[in-house]
Amino acid sequence: MEIENIDLHRLKMPLKTPFETSFGRLTYKDFLVVCVNGEGQTGYGESVSLPFPIYNEETTDTVKYMLKEFFIPKLLKLDGIDHPEQLQSIFKPIRRNQMAKAAIEGAVWDLYCKKKGISLSEALGGTKKEIDVGVSIGIEPGIPEVLEKVETFINQGYKKIKLKIKPGFDLEPIAAIRDRFGSDIPLMADANSAYTLEDIHLLRQLDPFHLMMIEQPLAHDDIIDHVKLQSELSTPICLDESIHSYEDARKAIEIGACKIINIKIGRVGGLAEAVKIHDLCKSNGIPVWCGGMLEAGIGRAHNIALSSLDNFLIPGDTSASNRYWETDIVTPEVDFLRPGTLAVPDGYGIGYEINEKVMEKYRLETESFSK
Ligand code: OSB
Ligand code: MG
């Protein structure tokens, strides 16, 4: 497969409503769309980085820098490429920068699938035709706002409600949700590393609420303390920030740091690594789900294809486009097949077309690179 040139578009899309986590508040998404062109076709990838290094160390500007200086030149220097999995070894000498690697790798997967005439789901070994999805609710000004959002999303049919928590906004909103909606709604909490082992007593008080899991309660770079915490909690711990690779996942599972893993394609450096982590978890009896980074439609499409693998046993964070966007950059927009489910497209590649008009509306700049 020949790669002739690559375009980088920078977009800024306002979120319908601000999204707040324990690490900060987001009002817009500033991101890159990577277009890899070859033999008359285009593969699309999306950088999932945030404008600020508050979730991990990358930002949209660092991703752009790494793409321009390292990953794009490396790719254009190649004499074609047979399979997207080759990128792992090609990029290996460059440390970390997972979101930058994933953005360009995703575009190459899409192009590869389009050339082969298969869907991305098929190329990854996906088997599901329909996936269950949930929704992530940010930290709200107060409990009434939380309850209103939970009600809206449950009525829409979402199959998992994830509430962001932080010290001072944890037991009360969780208790209020259980009180109002009962013990049967699929509910979990995501702390984004807001606690330490000193908070064990408080976190144990979450156990009676039978949460599906608590996501990343402790430090973003920890697995050791999570082992201690998990041994004291009946609620399963799910790791997000701490898992950057297959090796991280292997070690976390080996020492008992978590019972569930959230896989984000950007956080682990691409689809090939994501599939490896999925397979590892499957063979260890660890269910996985696909996390989200407030993606626009291209990123959402990649998440859907990944979620079609069979060990994605828990509904992911890939909500419909209208959860965050007035209008999305793909057509059709990502929308429910049935309440709380998305169809896995069977068209070639990511299976969604780009809505050039919407891309144009939100585009800040474009840079092009050729051999
Ligand atoms: O921790 O999962 C997270 C958004 C930005 C950064 C980190 C996280 C999130 C979300 C939103 O929870 C998930 C989504 O709906 O895309
Ligand atoms: Mg998370």
CA 139 to ligand 2 centroid distance, Å: 13
Q: How far apart are CA 23 and CA 360, in angstroms?
A: 31
Quote the tokens at residue 134: 């949930």
Whether the CB of 319 sits within 6 Å of ligand 1: yes
The pick from 317, 323, 328 for probing ligand 1's pocket by mutation, whose C-beta has the most ligand atoms within 8 angstroms, reads 317
Query: Where do the domains of the chain lie?
Result: 5-118+353-370, 122-343
369, 69 in Cβ contact below 8 A? no
CA–centroid distance, 116 to ligand 1, in Å, is: 33
- Which ligand lies nearest the alpha carbon of 99? 1
SS3 annotation, the chain: CCCCEEEEEEEEEEEEEEEEECCEEEEEEEEEEEEEEECCEEEEEECCCCCCCCCCCCCHHHHHHHHHHHHHHHHHHCCCCCCCCHHHHHHCCCCCCHHHHHHHHHHHHHHHHHHHCCEHHHHHCCCCCEEEECEEECCCCCHHHHHHHHHHHHHHCCCCEEEECECCECHHHHHHHHHHHCCCCCEEEECCCCCCHHHHHHHHCCHHHCCCCEECCCCCCCCHHHHHHHHHCCCCEEECCCCCCHHHHHHHHHHCCCCEEEECCCCCCCHHHHHHHHHHHHHCCCCEEECCCCCCHHHHHHHHHHHCCCCECCCECCCCHHHCCCCCCEECCCCCCCCCEEECCCCCECCCEECHHHHHHHEEEEEEEEC
Tens-digit pLDDT string for the chain (371 aa): 999 999 999 999 999 999 998 888 999 999 999 999 999 999 999 999 999 999 999 999 999 999 999 999 999 999 989 999 999 999 999 999 999 999 999 999 999 999 999 999 999 999 999 999 999 999 999 999 999 999 999 999 999 999 999 999 999 999 999 999 999 999 999 999 999 999 999 999 999 999 999 999 999 999 999 999 999 999 999 999 999 999 999 999 999 999 999 999 999 999 999 999 999 999 999 999 999 999 999 999 999 999 999 999 999 999 999 999 999 999 999 999 999 999 999 999 999 999 999 999 999 999 999 98
Tokens of 226: 């999570």
Ligand 1 in contact with 286 (CB < 6 A)? no
**The amino acid at 262:** N
Q: Tell me which fold the domain 5-118+353-370 belongs to.
A: Enolase-like; domain 1 (3.30.390)
Looking from the CA of residue 264, the nearest atom of ligand 1 is 2
289: CA distance to ligand 2 center in Å?
11
Residue (of 139, 188, 164) closest to 17 by Cα position: 139
Q: Which ligand is nearest to the CA of 294?
A: 1
Residue nearest to atom 13 of ligand 1 (CA): 292
Per-residue pLDDT tens for 166-216? 999 999 999 999 999 999 999 999 999 999 999 999 999 999 999 999 999
Q: What is the pLDDT of residues 17-50, one digit of tens each?
A: 999 988 889 999 999 999 999 999 999 999 999 9
Q: Is 99 in the pocket of ligand 1 (CB under 6 A)?
A: no
Positive or negative: CA dihedral 259, 265, 270, 276:
positive
First to last CA, the chain: 14
Are the C-beta atoms of 334 and 304 separated by less than 8 Å? Answer: yes
With CA atoms as reference, report the closest residue to 32 among 296, 324, 268.
296
What's the CA-to-centroid distance between 242 and ligand 1, angstroms?
14
Between the CA of residue 222 and those of 98, 134, 193, 203, 228, what are the distances in Å? 18, 26, 9, 17, 11
**Catalytic machinery residues:** 164, 264
Residue with CA closest to ligand 1 atom 4:
293
| Domain covering 122-343 assigned CATH 3.20.20.120 in the classification | yes
Q: Is 291 in the pocket of ligand 1 (CB under 6 A)?
A: yes
In whole angstroms, give the CA distance from residue 151 to residue 148. Answer: 5
ipTM of the complex: 0.99
